[in-house]
Amino acid sequence: MKVTVSVVLASYNQASYLREAVESVLAQTLADWELVVVDNGSTDGSHEILREYADDPRIRLVLHDRNEAITRRLNEAISLTRGEFVSLLYSDDFYLPEKLERQVACFATLPEKVGVVHGPGYRLNQLTGARWFVDAVRTGEDTLRDCVLGLRQGFINPIAPLFRRKCWERYPFNEQVFVEGEHVYWRYALSFDFFYLDEPLVVMRDHESNIGKATRANLERLMGLMDRLGADPEFPASHQPHLRFARADLLCRQGWETVRLTDDTSLARSYFRRSLQVRWRQALQPRMIAGVGLSLLPRSVRGRLNRSANRVISHPGNQIVLDEAPGRTAAAGG
């Protein structure tokens, strides 16, 4: 029997947060949903928690003893679903109650060409309890271009989208990589339009074991995914300059963050070099010039400048826009 929405919850060693994730689906104001939970070999008691929900006919458990590629687990779980739409959830995050209802209602007003409805969300600091708004890319007439260039805006909040099942049928997760994450939406944008629903409907949790904290490893993973996207036969040649800019900008920003937040100036300069190898015009960007210059200063001088800059940037109302994407206008301030 068909359902409207299939929620796929990917679980791995997040027993402390798992119940809240499942309960956030049970609390949805939309009644017509199913939940498929795929556990990727948890060893922290997650299986026992999930078995508490085994008697709910709306919930299907797929519990594994071995950890494998997240892409494989997600494909497996989605293949078991019956919904017209699919929504992903991870075991340390949760939905707000109207998430599915609001997005399904939105799809009812949109043409078939729109494959993804997404929007902003909140981040929650587990240690302090602080919660703040996180925006996402707003696409226009050229969804693919906006998604590629939107990487600097945060791109897509991982659990915010609701997408048509046919998006996944055309572009299943790439099992040649361990994790593809929200960057699967780059491939969806090859054939489908996106709609931005300007309501925060999800909460993503920051805690000390988040995979997203492994900055260096995630950068290399992301660069690999961008290389694959550019090599995809469906990726239009007209968008290659945008992809080059996104890759160069990502490396430049990583170099900037490294020189600003660490003492590893050699690593910072390696990111700047790689950025220039991708796109030589990056040499004209203020962040590149400032970052390379900062990396060449004595440690004591660099430290004083960084501390001074932190005080300026953290002052209420101050926002400094250092680099611009091609075809985009930078704006400073509110």
- Can you give the pLDDT at residue 319? 38
- Are 251 and 244 in contact, with CB atoms under 8 Å apart? no
Q: How confident is the model at residue 208 (pLDDT cuts 50, 70, 90)?
A: confident
Q: In this model, does residue 228 exceed pLDDT 60?
A: yes
Helix 265-278 with 240-261: angle, nearest 10 deg: 170
**Domain positions in the chain:** 3-213, 236-314
Provide the pairing of β-strand 83-90 with 59-64. unpaired
pLDDT digits (tens, 9 = 90+) for 106-122: 999 999 999 999 999 99
Intra-chain end-to-end CA distance of the chain, in Å: 50
- Can you give the pLDDT at residue 59? 98
291-299 long-range contacts (CB < 8 A, ≥24 apart) are: 291/252, 291/255, 291/256, 291/259, 291/260, 294/259, 294/260, 295/255, 295/259, 295/265, 295/268, 295/269, 296/265, 299/263
Q: In this model, does residue 140 exceed pLDDT 90?
A: no
What distance separates the 2 farthest-apart alpha carbons in the chain?
Answer: 68
Helix (H) or strand (E) holding 60: strand 59-64
Q: How confident is the model at residue 330 (pLDDT cuts 50, 70, 90)?
A: very low
3-213 falls under which CATH superfamily? Spore Coat Polysaccharide Biosynthesis Protein SpsA; Chain A (3.90.550.10)
Q: In this model, does residue 323 exceed pLDDT 80?
A: no
- Can you give the pLDDT at residue 181? 85
DSSP assignment of 183-209 equals GHHHHHTTT-EEEE--S--EEEEE-TT
pLDDT digits (tens, 9 = 90+) for 164-189: 999 999 999 999 999 998 889 999 99
Which range among 58-67, 72-81, 93-102, 313-322 shows the weakest confidence by mean pLDDT?
313-322
- Output the six-digit token pair for 206: 């920051």
- Output the six-digit token pair for 29: 């104001």
pLDDT digits (tens, 9 = 90+) for 300-317: 888 778 777 665 444 444
> Residue 53 contacts by C-beta under 8 Å, 6 or more apart in sequence?
22, 37, 59, 61
Token pair 């600091």: residue = 125
- Output the six-digit token pair for 2: 């068909």
Alpha helices in the chain (DSSP H): 15-26, 46-51, 70-79, 99-107, 143-149, 165-170, 184-188, 215-231, 240-261, 265-278, 286-295, 299-314
- Can you give the pLDDT at residue 265? 93
Q: In this model, does residue 324 exceed pLDDT 50?
A: no
- Averaged pLDDT, 326-333: 36
Mean confidence (pLDDT) of the chain: 89
- Averaged pLDDT, 145-168: 90
Q: How confident is the model at residue 214 (pLDDT cuts 50, 70, 90)?
A: low
- Can you give the pLDDT at residue 327? 44
> Residue 222 contacts by C-beta under 8 Å, 6 or more apart in sequence?
183, 250
